[in-house]
Every structure is written in C-alpha cells, then in structure tokens.
Chains A and B, each alone.
Chain A
Amino acid sequence: MAIEVRIPTILRTYTAGAKSVEGSGATLGEVLGDLESRHHGLRDRLVDDAGLRRFVNVYLNDEDVRFLGGLETPVADGDTVTVLPAVAGGGS
C-alpha cells in the first residue's frame, strides 16, 4: 500500500529534493521505517528513543498524530502524511 509523505524544505536533503515520497506500512512507524531504507537519515530527524520528536509535527491527513496514536497510528492506502517542523522559540 502506498502512503504519500510530504517532506518540508529543511528535510529535502534526505529525499534528493523531492517534496513528497511514498512509503508503505500498516502504521506511521512502519512507514517511517520503510522510508529510512531509501532515504537514510530521515527517520532520525523525526523520531528519537521516546517516539516522535517534540518539535516535529506529523499529520495523518488532517489530524496531528499526537492526538491519534503517535507512531502506532494505523495508516491506509491513499493516506497522506505531512511533516512540518514546529515553529517555536522564545525569549529566555
């Protein structure tokens, strides 16, 4: 099954400049694992030992996967995963 994964500008060094790539798997975690086999290093920018990195937003279609099941979120053929780096910071 094919899941479209949209890649933000800052991570396109891992996808040879592609704005979106396709992956397969039954969960978000599996899709990211599948992508890693072709786009080495990408997974590390999205996931650490504790799960999804805090300052990366990952959406399944229109939902933030944090409010679904994180890496365990089930995905299906035709779904779109969007990755956006969080925009954050602050004065101290």
Chain B
Amino acid sequence: MSSAAVQQDGSPALAVDGLVAGYGGVIALDGVSISAGTAAITAVLGANGAGKTTLLRAVSGMIKPRRGRVLLGGADLAGRSPEQIVRAGIAHVTEGQGVIPELTVEENLRVGMMSWPGPLSRAPGSRSRNPRAERAAALDEAYGRFRPLADRRRKLAATLSGGERQMLVIARALLSRPHVLLLDEPSLGLAPRIMAQVMDLVVRLSREQGLTIVLVEQNARSALAVADHGVVLNLGRVVASADAQTLAADVALRHHYLGF
C-alpha cells in the first residue's frame, strides 16, 4: 500500500516495515510500513492519537517496537537503544520541550555532539585528528547558521523564546550529524510567523544538506505545502500514502482524516 519515495539508487533512506508498538495494554501502531525518500521531506499526518508520535518514538528507540523492522541503509535498528540509534544517524526532535533549560545554549549544543565517536572508537575513518577543533568548528557553523543562538550562547536556555528554543533544538539535533531527522510538531505553540520560519528552515535543510526528513505535524496544510511525500495515519494504521500534491488535492481524504 505504501508507494516508496525513492532516490537514485532506488532505495529509501529510512524504511519502517510492519511496525507494531504501544504502551502497556494499548497498541498505538498496528502494523505500519512507511518509506522516507533520501533528501526528501516525508510528512506523517493524522488526527490526535493516530500514532504519529509513537511512530517517531519507535524509530528513535524511545520505545521498543513489539514487531516489525526499522531499516536504515539496510540495517535493522528496531529494538536498539536511543544512544545507538542516534549514532547510526537518526536524530529525533521530540514534541514539546526539547531544550534543557538548566543548561546554557552552548551546553545544549555540546550535548548534541555527544554522539560523536570518542577517541577510542573503532569505526573506520571516524577517529579525527583533532576532535576539539572539529567540535569548535561545528559549533561555529551552528552559530553561523543560527545567529540568535550565537548572541545568547552563554545564557541559560530557559531565557530563550519559543522560536529560539525550537531553533536550538534543531541546531542540537543537526550537530549529531544525522542522515535522517525526525521532527515531531516543530511548530507547536509557535506564532504563525515563527512557524513559517521553522518550516522554511526545514525545507532548506533537506534541499541544501540532503537531509532526509520525517515531519510529523498536526497542521497538515502547512506540512503538505513543504513536503514531497505524505503518509496519513489513522488509529495506528496507514490509510493513505502518496506524494504531497496528490494528497493535498484529495479533498475527501483531507476532510476525513486531516481536518481541512
């Protein structure tokens, strides 16, 4: 039922196959299969309780799937811990409070680099000549891209506005050098103007950086406006999967599942 959004070598960057996951006695994902094309934006849509956040959590390792596979570049990551999955290249920006308010902006960013291979790492080509310089360079790059963060680098994250916090969260996630970025409602609680800026950023990340993005959004309209491909969930199942324009044009589907 899912039409994969493929890229040049024909394989999606991230694929979820028959995923079943839940909390306690409740099954929130009931056999979900989704593909996210490389360097594309895949929107995951649906009403509250449809399973969107659960899907992201199962992919990033926050919860353990009961069945199914999570495939990144051919490797099945299902059941691994979040620490391992972020090292494999999947970064998850969670819904709601994503910054650690008790740490400074710079410390929050440094946390993002904690998944880099350490000095004793055995992964081929991962040991850098000068890790400290690399980190400093990465921080500079982040400050360059996100000016407001540079201005507040020594301030506690608690003092940032909503939009700035979202910027910080995304900057931190990017510092883990992911191949795939999972975004859970990045515009939640933000003013429309800021929301537009965030969406803008998301698009640029995918176009300029080649980042594969999976975007969960309540606001289906704005999500479909930026996405390449869309998947609609309802009660833990995939009910529609098509490219974004097709979904946006399907008025009956929109009314039924997406509220517009």
Q: Do these two chains interact?
A: no
Residues of A within 8 A of B (CB): none
Residues of B within 8 A of A (CB): none
